[in-house]
Amino acid sequence: MSESVNLPALGESVTEGTVTRWLKKVGDRVEVDEPLLEVSTDKVDTEIPSPVAGVIEAILVAEDETVEVGTALVTIGDGSGGGDAAPEAPAPEAAPAPEAAPAPEAAPAPEAAPAPEAAPAAPEPEAPAAPAETTPAPAPEAAPAPEPTPAPEAAPAPAAEPAPAAAPAPQAAPEPEQAAPAAAPVAAPSAEAFAGYVTPLVRKLANEQGVDLSTVSGTGVGGRIRKQDVLAATAPAAPAAPAAAPAAVALETSELRGTTVPMSRLRKVIAERAVISMQSSAQLTSVVEVDVTAVAQYRNKVKDAFQEKTGVKLSFLPFFALAAAEALRAYPIINATIDGDSIVYPPHENISIAVDTERGLLTPVVRDAGDLDLAGLATQIADLAERTRDNKLKPDELAGGTFTLTNTGSRGALFDTPIVFLPQSAILGTGIVTKKPVVISDAGGDAIAIRSMVYLALSYDHRIVDGADAARFLTAVKNRLENGDFAPNLGI
């Protein structure tokens, strides 16, 4: 029997998907929940696991082909390998009764495939004690194999000697031969699985770290190599990183130089949405500079205890998200959307977090961010970012955002002018936190001090958000961060 695997529903608003890469080919055996192929949709790239175990009989959709949800992608059969093995076992049991006739008939029946299995058939003498008459019949079949030696040994000895001689013969000779064919199918798929199971993200990381993937043992499902495996393989080289830091200035030439490649489905969607957003809305950007020295000092004070209790590192991003969520409650026009001639003010603050991946920019959503503390925000941001980069994000986790936060400072940018993606009305970009001399005022007058500073850039849709609204929102975020009183919101 065979069963078809159809393209599943990958989200409420997802109606079709594009097959980007097949991880298996016709004839390969797959287990339940083992990835079959990679599919790209308007919202996310994901892997489709096999719902059944068996052998792939036919691939129905080619790579780069777009099909609707419910379309049959591949047919999987129950596999003939297991069915052939079952008849082979009863065959020796039937041999003692009609030895002369069935024995030769059993050999020609599967002559091409089970030819090497004729050697394991030698254990037949083990059950019926190998009468002298049956020995000549299997002897010609076993002639290609090293079986002629047991035959002479059985001849000179009467009946007691063949018994001990027959015992070591099937145990020493046939069993290793059985183990060899059994190990061969296992070893071959593992090599193929290695080639098909390495995601582009892992392959890129391995190239950057100088790790030979053939030497890495995968800890994922079915021996799949994960990002953690590559990082673990580079652990011994970690101490040499400081010494190798100056060499990082020499940039490697990309393999893409001088090539032409088609745009991925996700890149096409991002491009279309960016153009539509720019053409359909009136966008501009306001920027403020914020002194986050108090945040930096508080973060350094609690980061070790925070990581110990939550399991995630405390970066500046959760502080920015918390300050933004509080300001959105006070100035909901920044969190609003346009519906025809109406302005819709959502009853929640669902903050989309921009995550840079090899496939493109994705924005998973932290829901009800206004109700979370620093621990809740940090945990959700870390979880969403990791699953986004590992391509394990659910499509619905990319929908429903009302405001976006993008941390361009993580790549070293001072600030940028991010694009607002409809239907949202604003996006906040956070630059890199740097120390620099600034003028501060205290009771004794003005002074120059080294402070931790950051630029915050708010892009917004001028159709409903005015410059004064943007300034009030940015000022609220600035004051909250410069105040630095986050102890009540730590959450540990």
Q: Which residues are catalytic?
A: 462, 466
Q: Which amino acid is at 44?
A: V
- Cα atoms in the Cβ-side hemisphere of radius 13 Å centred on 14: 27
End-to-end CA distance of the chain: 55
Helices (H), 372-463: 374-389
Which regions of 25-129 does DSSP assign to beta strands (E)?
Answer: 29-30, 35-40, 45-49, 54-59, 66-68, 72-77
CA–CA distance, 22 with 8 (Å, rounded to integer): 16
Cβ atoms of 134 and 99 closer than 8 Å: yes
Instruction: Name the pairing type of β-strands 361-362 and 342-344.
Output: unpaired
**What is the bridge-based pairing of β-strands 342-344 and 35-40?**
unpaired
Q: Is 159 helix (H, G, I), strand (E, B) or coil?
A: coil
**Partners of 287 in the beta sheet?**
457
Alpha-carbon gap, residue 82 to 77, rounded angstroms: 11
- How far apart CA 32 and CA 78 sit, in angstroms, is 12
Single-letter code of the amino acid located at 465: V
Q: How far apart are CA 289 and CA 123, in angstroms?
A: 83
> Which tokens hold the place of 19?
């097959």
Give the dihedral of Cα atoms 182, 185, 190, 195; nearest 10 deg.
170
How far is 411 from 167, CA to CA, in rounded Å? 70
Q: Phi-psi region for residue 11, left (φ > 0), alpha (ψ -120 to 50) or beta?
A: left
- Indicate the Cα dihedral angle 96, 97, 101, 104, nearest 10°: -20
Quick one: which H or E segment has residue 307?
Answer: helix 293-310
Query: Residue 266: enclosing H or E segment and its boundaries?
Result: helix 265-280
Residue that the structure tokens 């917004």 belong to: 460
Contact 403, 350 (CB under 8 A): yes
Neighbours of 58 (CB within 10 A): 12
Pull the structure tokens for residue 350: 């669902």
For 290-316, give one letter per residue: b (16+ CB within 10 A) or e.
bbbbbbbebbeebeeebeeebebebbb
Element (H, E) at 287: strand 283-291
Half-sphere exposure of 187 (CA within 13 A, CB side): 6
